Amino acid sequence: MADLLLALDVKGKAEAVRVAAACAGELDAIKIGYPLVLSTGLGIVKDLAKSEIPIIADFKVADIPNTNSLICEEVFGAGCAGIITHAFCGSDSLAACVDASHDHGGVCFVVCEMSHPGALDFLSGENAERMARMAKAAGADGIIAPATRPERTATLRGIIGSSMKIYSPGVGAQGAQPEDVKKYVDGIIVGRAIYEAADPKAAAHEFRVRAR
Ligand code: C5P
């Protein structure tokens, strides 16, 4: 049984609020990222807070420790409940993100393997497995692993064990189905297949039921 996270990669406050309101009651969290925040500013977090579900900032943080901490301060100060970071900058950069998240009462998820075909160049295989081990050692709350390669997500689950969460993108527009990964993960992340649907609430409802 997996939660449903909406990847709200729309532009502008009006569209974001429209989709979030339409999906009310069908989502367990909303993931925001650069497309939305660059078009609205971080104030969008307060606008989406009416949904009364956690807002997770997918900024795929990838910088030196001090900069990572500063980014976390802004994200959690704006009202986010969680942040998604990269791990490839190394254990000190990752620790800065995890520690800053926890200092602000938030959670930190670590991208280990991405869902798109190009992930196979760097963000997969042994690199992904090393990053999963690093995420566990850093005390991260969870990892991001691909619904598009469920066997890889199963492998990463084996590395992190059951005490950390896995959120899994790639369901819908990227071709994966909820049934492919729901037994390995704590949440599926769905973007275009919900926010581009003629009836986003109905689409969200269907994904939520299928993820259960
Ligand atoms: O529209 P779609 O369902 O493909 O959106 C997937 C979302 O998950 C996007 O916000 C994308 O940035 C994000 N994501 C991903 N693969 C990762 C990490 C995040 O697709 N490994």
Work out the average pLDDT over 5-28.
98
pLDDT in tens, 45-70: 999 998 899 999 999 999 999 999 99
For the Cβ of 178 lying below 6 angstroms from any atom of ligand 1, the answer is no
pLDDT at 67: 98
- 133 annotated as a binding-site residue: no
- 149 annotated as a binding-site residue: no
For the Cβ of 190 lying below 6 angstroms from any atom of ligand 1, the answer is yes
Altogether, the residues listed in the chain come to a count of: 212
C-alpha 60 to ligand 1 mean position (Å): 11
Asked if the ipTM is above 0.90, the reply is yes
Work out the average pLDDT over 153-182.
97
Q: Which residue out of 11, 115, 149 has the highest number of ligand 1 atoms within 8 Å of its CB and is therefore the one to mutate?
A: 115
Please give the mean pLDDT across all residues of the chain.
Answer: 97
pLDDT at 51: 82
Question: Is the Cβ–Cβ distance between 156 and 128 less than 8 Å?
Answer: yes
Q: Report the distance separating Cα 36 and Cα 23, nearest Å.
A: 17
Residues 6 or more apart in contact with residue 61 via CB below 8 angstroms: 68, 71, 72, 83, 84, 85, 86, 97
For the Cβ of 156 lying below 6 angstroms from any atom of ligand 1, the answer is no
Split at pLDDT 50, 70, 90, the class of 77 is very high
Q: Which residues are catalytic?
A: 58, 60, 63
What ligand 1 atom has the least distance to the C-alpha of 195? 1
Work out the average pLDDT over 108-118.
95
Work out the average pLDDT over 148-176.
97
pLDDT at 50: 86
- 192 annotated as a binding-site residue: yes
